[in-house]
């Protein structure tokens, strides 16, 4: 039984794959001749590198800037506490992502927004919204560019 493959590639403005990818796909399809195949087209999910970049170079940098500016505290049900990276993540999710809807036991339910379902492009736009957030910009935050440790297809390469 031939093995399945996953190909991540760019599509041209006119909707075409690069010739080398077309040839690769055609060659692999021949291994499955005469039987069913599953073809899935979509944007790749963000990678663990992209996730590390987000937590270290976006959330972490905003968190440090808030502490440096003396506004690293938040009011909670348990009193005044230090702002956490998780609290910032939650704030930005609610600010820039849509809540999820689901039907559970026949009831329509609104679930909190989540980043786990974002593809690489949507995740890039989410990060850009945070970088351009007016309150974040007031902090004068400098966001590092992804380096070799974080660089991957899942962090938008169109910059």
Q: What is the pLDDT of residues 76-118, one digit of tens each?
A: 899 999 999 999 999 999 999 999 999 999 999 999 999 988 9
Cα separation, 130 vs 23, whole angstroms:
40
Tokens for 32, please give them.
């499955």
State how far the Cα of 104 lies from the Cα of 127, in Å rounded to an integer.
31
Q: Report the C-alpha gap between 131 and 89 in whole angstroms.
A: 13
Is the pTM value of this prediction over 0.75?
no
Report the C-alpha gap between 80 and 42 in whole angstroms: 44
18-29 pLDDT per residue, tens:
899 899 989 989
Contacts of 144 (CB under 8 A, 6+ apart): 57, 61
């Amino acid at each position: 039984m031939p093995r399945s493959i996953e190909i991540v590639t760019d599509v041209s403005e006119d909707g075409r794959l690069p010739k080398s990818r077309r040839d690769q796909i055609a060659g692999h399809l021949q291994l499955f001749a005469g039987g069913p195949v599953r073809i899935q087209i979509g944007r790749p999910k963000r990678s663990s590198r992209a996730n590390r970049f987000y937590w270290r170079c976006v959330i972490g940098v905003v968190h440090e800037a808030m502490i440096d500016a003396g506004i690293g505290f938040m009011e909670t049900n348990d009193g005044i506490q230090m702002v956490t990276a998780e609290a910032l993540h939650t704030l930005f999710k609610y600010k820039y992502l849509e809540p999820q809807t689901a039907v559970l036991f026949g009831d329509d339910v609104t679930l909190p927004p989540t980043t786990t379902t974002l593809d690489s492009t949507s995740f890039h736009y989410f990060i850009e919204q945070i970088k351009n957030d007016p309150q974040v910009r007031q902090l004068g935050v400098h966001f590092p560019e992804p380096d070799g440790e974080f660089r991957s297809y899942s962090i938008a390469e169109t910059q």
